[in-house]
Structure 1
Amino acid sequence: MHVSLAEALQVRGGPLQEEEVWAVLNQSAETLHELMRRDPSALGFVISPWSLLLMPSGNISFTDENVTQQDLRAFTAPEVLEGLCQSSLSDMEKMHMYALGMTLFWGADYEIPQSQPMKLTEHLNSILLKLCDDSTLSRLSTRSLLDACSTHIRNSTCDPAFSYVRRLVRLVLGSLSQLDGLLSQTERESLPERSKEIRDRLRGKGLPTDWITFERLSGTWLTPPG
């Protein structure tokens, strides 16, 4: 039994909280690190809210089943969309880091009105931005991400990472008799559009030219010139 990130947030009707983002980052990085070490051939998926699976054990798994290509495009690294060959393990790692960052931005932004900022600390926001950098050289590695998560855990009073994942799973299993059919076809088609909005905002697109706007991904007020 497992629960996708999209299913958990659909049941909640709201975004991931700060410590939940850290927890999913940590558990996801651990899984990716182990896959790269043991079985790189198993990395043939794109991380997204529908393919990131929360396990009752508190671990994270990934799947490429029941996820349409339309769902994945907003989470696919730019170098992959441009058709560049991802031949090395390092290339694959950075591709997954981008998708993981975009997925967590999506989760932190879920059902938050456009006019309101995401409730992330500057430090966590900067970590996610580094994961989603257009340049593969600037993106964090799984090892660097694990180090950042470990430092956060040591310096905070948060619970173990697996406990937050377990709670997200219980949120769904305690609310539904079954997971199948949780998202209607209409809802599935609309969710990628929110991912597209996040991607555009990350790139600085779509900002009004005649209004003072809070740009949630950079955490700064942007005022059009003049």
Structure 2
Amino acid sequence: MGTFVTLAEVLEARGSPLEEDEVWCLLLATTDALLDISKKGSGNMCSVLSPGSVLLSANGSLAFKSCARYEDVASFTAPEVQQGHATSTRTAAEKMVVYSLGMTLYWCVDYHLPQNQPVQLSSELEDLLLSMCEDVVMRRTDLLTVLETCELHHKASMLPPAERLVRQLVEDVYRNSVSGS
């Protein structure tokens, strides 16, 4: 499988937020990976993702650390989880991970921005992230809708394959660690 770096390590190495096209590619890749996990049964899917639990591989694939107990993940945790509601269905588990992924990617576009500087996103991406971070579960979007939106955007914008971007982000981390910057 190769060596993995976390999304947090990618941002630390570059010292600046992700750009819009990078967010679209990552959103497509993570949603695709999460849907694969979801098909295997909701017991395999962790309800909380964070910048420290999304793993990027040098071969362009993604993986996720098992359920986060290794860092402060409260800000990435869906409100219903924080309120102690148990997940009873696959849909409920999926909605929690959608929230968590949305918050994780918001963190990535807001990384090291001065507090008074707004995040620079297209209304299309901002609306999608907001629908993912919706506090009310019933109004929150689902993984399939996120995937379809990303695929449409990907085709319309003629973005490179998501795997290529993931490989590039991993290479950038290694390049920075070797050069000692």
Letter in 2 for 1:151: L
Q: How does 1:25-174 map to 2 (within 5 A)?
A: 25-44=27-46, 46-64=48-66, 67-69=69-71, 71-174=72-175
Equivalent pair of 2:35/2:143 in contact (CA under 8 Å): yes
Q: Secondary structure at the match of 1:68?
A: coil
TM norm structure 2? 0.92
* Distance verdict in 2 for CA 1:168–1:65, change over 3 Å: same
Q: Render the CA deviation track for 1:54-78: whole Å, top value 9, x for unaligned.
A: 1112222110377535x21110000
Q: Render the CA deviation track for 1:116-139: whole Å, top value 9, x for unaligned.
A: 111211110000000000011111
Mind listing any 5+ residue stretches in structure 1 that lack a counterpart?
178-226
After the TM superposition, which parts of structure 1 deviate over 3 Å for at least 4 consecutive aligned residues?
none
Q: Distance in 2 between matches of 1:120 and 1:55?
A: 26
Equivalent pair of 1:45/1:64 in contact (CA under 8 Å): no
Q: Distance in 2 between matches of 1:67 and 1:4?
A: 15
Report the counterpart of residue 193 of structure 1 in structure 2.
none
Q: Secondary structure at the match of 1:14?
A: coil
Q: Secondary structure at the match of 2:28?
A: helix
Q: Distance in 2 between matches of 1:174 and 1:143?
A: 35
Q: Distance in 1 between matches of 2:92 and 2:133?
A: 14
Mind listing any 5+ residue stretches in structure 2 that lack a counterpart?
none
Relative to its length, the structure with more helix (as a share) is 2
Equivalent pair of 2:46/2:67 in contact (CA under 8 Å): no
Q: Distance in 1 between matches of 2:137 and 2:117?
A: 30
Q: Distance in 1 between matches of 2:81 and 2:93?
A: 10
Report the counterpart of residue 11 of structure 1 in structure 2.
13
Q: Distance in 2 between matches of 1:25 and 1:46?
A: 15
Compute the displacement of 1:33 (Å): 0.4
Q: Secondary structure at the match of 1:115?
A: coil
Letter in 2 for 1:154: K
Report the counterpart of residue 221 of structure 1 in structure 2.
none
Structural RMSD (CA): 1.5
Equivalent pair of 2:47/2:93 in contact (CA under 8 Å): no
